[in-house]
Chain A
Amino acid sequence: MADRVIYAMYDDDEVLMDGAKKLVSEGVHITDVFSPFPIHGIDPIIGVKHTRLGIVSFMFGLLGMTLAVIGFKYFMIDDWPIILVVNQTLAC
């Protein structure tokens, strides 16, 4: 544990980035950076991990798709079949 906590205030994102780089290279642990807008490129410097949200949402999408297909099969074929072709000889 660090024996002291330093709060630093910057009024420019580029200065902050350079400052953060410098501090990290000197072995100072940066707990967090607060900013009123996203500072692109700060994440790897202070060690914010990449999120798996994209993959997770894709998997949720697949889940939803599967549920929809299962639902259609149940509603339209098993539970209340809708006969779209009356003359079966014409059905392919």
Chain B
Amino acid sequence: MHKESAIREPLILGHKTYHDITEDVCRSIEGKAPKTWYILFGIALLLGLYGVGCVLYLLGTGIGTWGLNKTVQWAWDITNFVWWVGIGHAGTLISAVLLLFRQRWRMAINRAAEAMTIFAVFMAGLFPLIHMGRLWVGYWVMPIPNQFGSLWVNFNSPLLWDVFAISTYLSVGFVFWYIGLLPDFATIRDRAKHPVSKKMYSILSFGWSGRAKHWNRFEIVSLVLAGLATPLVFSVHSIVSFDFATSVIPGWHTTIFPPYFVAGAVFSGFAMVQTIMLIVRKGLKLEAYLHTKHIEYMNIVIMVTGSIVGVAYLTELFISWYSGVEYESYAFINRATGPYWWAYASMMTCNVISPQLMWFKKLRTSLLFTFFISIVVNIGMWFERFVIIVTSLHQDYLPSSWSMFHPTWVDIGIYIGTIGLFFVFYLAFARYFPVLPIAELKTILKISGESYKNGSAPERPTPAPVVAAAAAPVVEQVVTEAPFAESASEAKEEISEEEKQNRISSLIEKLGAGSADAKDDLKLISGVGPKLEGTLNDIGIYTFEQVSKMTKEEYGLLDSITGTFPGRAERDNWAEQASNLMNK
């Protein structure tokens, strides 16, 4: 097994068994939703429905219901589009790039971030669609043979590339998310008690059985998809930036737009992951799997990408002066000091100053501060798009046509509505889908689990070779109950080697010494397998007689030494079993 450095902080806190992971993640799906969930869902649904109403009004009446005018012909629609695409960006980065770099901490956030990506891209895609005015001919953006002769879409236009980039992004993101969900749906299916939910989850899990071949293919497909999705991390937002960068508008035709948009997108995406996950981990009680260290890693990403964005802002300013082009300089002077100075100031404060605070370890490991900053960053990133779009347009080459942009209630309603719809989807996801990748977390449990790292659940010795006489298959019982609370807490405490020796000797004192020569086949005790037998032998327990003398106190002592199956010996009542076996 892959080893992880001992000084690296564990990713899964406390003593968790494989079974605990399943229980912890499935709890929210199998149990009843709390009242707060219904309240939040209700609010989100109302906002979403209001947004749908606004969209219908827009489609019925026309784009004139937006606050656009002949100078500012593009405003909130594209601002919201770019904002949502940007938010979706973290999901692909986490699932693809972090997978390729084998970042194990991604497993606490990848499922939720991928879901966020998909829902955010839904919301983003809505804006260009309704912007077309005639939604029912939306399929014209695809290069399909048509009745207008040899008329094709314009392949020179970045707006068309957007269509392809966003739809590829959505489909690859969805497939990635779904492939990961398959085994977890199967887990829920196998646990489901209600026939309807069993049926639903068995359809969703596509007949997943968990055989070795399935897992082999699962891992290869994840890797291939990660390879396919990595270019998307860079291409999608590059192309979104081309919507502006290939134009001739001062303030837009900037060559640093692609990298700067990509960094900005990752920046805002991680901020949104923080906002959501800080609520989710509390609400679903997943603090053991997503803790301060994960938050800190994400804050470092926010800090780095935020700094890239900051450098890009300053570079833009410098180049606008250095170019010597009056129009170019004016665009930037107007941004900072013109009528929209407040938007520029909020952008600069939220995006350049706030991520710099993450240099302080105290701040970046504070959950409350992180939550606050994550919201600040998303406000800032909305203003960034607003500043780029509206302030570059509102004072154009002809001063007589200068104007301001005033959003109408339809503009605002649609924007608020997408936020509502996003949370409708997200809350439904958090309720019915496994928010953490159950299967993937289990693969890192022994590498990065706290109790495995600090030795309170020590590395089990390699099993004593199966005795030749025992030709019958070794059937171990699967532990299905969660360990008792008291023994679990006992297993958590760290014990030194010396202390361990003390406990072993006191245990043997009580049970009486046994010898390897006169050993019984302890595997006959239900609950003891070859591995545990080896552990018991190492301690000095060889015979049924010794085991039969065990009481609650000795069980506790044994658990504190082995730490492997807390509470198990007592539950299976080894002592009684052993005395029965002894008398046979």
Residues of A at the B interface (CB closer than 8 Å) are 6-12, 14-15, 18-19, 22, 32-40, 42-43, 46, 48, 51, 53-54, 57, 61, 71-72, 75-76, 79-80, 82, 84
Given A11-B477, A11-B478, answer yes or no on A38-B215 (Cβ-Cβ < 8 Å). yes
Instruction: Flag B174-195 by CB within 8 Å of A: 1 or 0 each.
Output: 0000000001000100000000
Query: Does B442 contact A36, Cβ atoms closer than 8 Å?
Result: yes
Least Cβ–Cβ distance between A14 and chain B, in angstroms? 7
13 interchain pairs, CB-CB under 8 A: A10-B529, A11-B529, A12-B460, A12-B529, A15-B530, A32-B212, A36-B438, A37-B438, A40-B443, A42-B212, A48-B213, A61-B228, A82-B154
Nearest to A12 among chain B residues (CB) is: B531
Could you tell me if B216 and A48 are in contact, using CB atoms closer than 8 angstroms?
A: yes
Report the 6 A-B pairs with minimum CB-CB distance, sorted nearest first.
Answer: A37-B442, A38-B215, A37-B439, A75-B152, A8-B473, A80-B150
A-chain residues with CB within 8 Å of residue B368 when the two chains form the complex: none
Chain B interface category by residue count: 35 or more
Within the assembled complex, what's the spacing in Å between the Cα atoms of A19 and B1? Answer: 16
Contact A39 B531 (CB under 8 A): no
Q: Which one of A11, A38, A57, A75 lies within 8 Å of B155 (CB-CB)?
A: A75
Which chain A residue has the least Cβ–Cβ distance from B225? A57
A71 to B160, CA, bound (A): 15
> CA–CA, A80 to B148, complex, Å?
12
How far apart are the CA atoms of A55 and B575 in the complex, in Å? 57
Q: Are A10 and B212 also in contact (CB < 8 A) when A36-B18, A37-B443, A53-B224 are?
A: no
- Give the Cβ gap from B531 to chain A, nearest Cβ, in Å: 5
Closest to B437 in A: A37
Give the contacts of B206-234 with A (CB-CB under 8 A).
Answer: 209-213, 215-221, 223-224, 228
The residue on B at minimum CB distance from A6 is: B473
* Segment from B343-351, B462-470, B541-549 that makes contact with A: B462-470
From B212, B462, B466, name the one whose CB has the most chain A CB atoms within 10 angstroms: B212
Q: Taking the nearest CB of chain B, how far is it from the CB of A40, in angstroms?
A: 7
Which residue numbers of B lie inside 8 Å of A, CB to CB?
A: 1-2, 18, 22, 143, 150-152, 154-156, 183, 187, 209-213, 215-221, 223-224, 228, 438-440, 442-443, 460, 462-463, 465-466, 473-479, 529-531
Q: Contact at A9–B439, with CB atoms within 8 Å?
A: no
* Chain B residues closer than 8 Å to A18, beta-carbon distance: 462-463
User: What is the CA–CA distance of A37 and B155 in the complex, to the nearest angstrom?
Assistant: 45
Beta-carbon contact of B212 and A36 below 8 Å: no
CA–CA, A66 and B150, complex, Å: 22
Once the chains bind, are A8 and B474 in contact (CB under 8 Å)?
Answer: yes
Report the nearest A residue to B531, measured CB to CB: A15
Q: Is the CB of B209 within 8 A of A34?
A: yes
Q: Are A72 and B443 in contact (CB under 8 A)?
A: no
Q: What are the residues of chain A within 8 A of B462 when measuring CB–CB?
A: 18
A12 to B217, CA, bound (A): 22
Q: A34-B210, A36-B442, A75-B143 are in contact. Are A14 and B215 (CB under 8 A)?
A: no
Kindly name the residue among A8, A35, A43 whose own CB sees the greatest number of chain B CB atoms within 10 A. Answer: A35
Cα distance A32–B212 in the bound complex, in angstroms: 7
A17 (CB) vs chain B CBs: closest residue:
B1
Q: A8-B475, A38-B216 given. 7 additional CB < 8 A pairs?
A: A9-B478, A18-B462, A19-B466, A35-B212, A35-B215, A37-B439, A61-B228
